[in-house]
Amino acid sequence: MEGRGVTVTMHTTPPVTVSRPGRLLGVGSVRAALSPGAENASCSVSLDNGDGYFSTLFSVPPLGVLVTIEDYGGEIFRGSVTSCSLAASCDLECES
């Protein structure tokens, strides 16, 4: 799913939008719930935190914040942040 046109928006105040090229390093496969009772749809997002930008921005992790992922303008995932780890990259786990 990596490539031009992919954007990730965290609906914080103000919203944070990242894309490629830029701070978006990658988006993992969107894993969808295929049957009733199956686990929720989920995906991972990796952001460039080499300069500590997201460490400052997310000093309080954005747990529960709405996240949307679009590919060439079409929404492919909508969910919320369930975990956030900060190092050289900012890795978010999202679930719908």
CA distances for 24 relative to 1, 28, 38, 54, angstroms: 11, 11, 29, 12
Q: Looking at the 3D structure of the chain, how many domains does it have?
A: 1
Distance, CA of 80 to CA of 64 (rounded, Å):
5
Total-model pTM = 0.82
Q: Is residue 23 part of a domain?
A: yes
Q: Is residue 1 part of a domain?
A: no
| Ordered per-residue pLDDT tens for the chain, 96 residues | 444 589 999 999 899 999 988 899 999 887 776 656 656 789 999 999 999 999 999 888 899 999 999 988 789 899 999 999 999 999 999 998
CA-wise closest residue to 49 among 10, 20, 88:
88
| Token code pair at residue 72 | 């060439």
Q: Is residue 79 part of a domain?
A: yes
Q: Is residue 55 part of a domain?
A: yes
Q: Is residue 67 part of a domain?
A: yes
Q: Is residue 13 part of a domain?
A: yes
Domain with 44, as residue range(s), is: 6-31+40-95
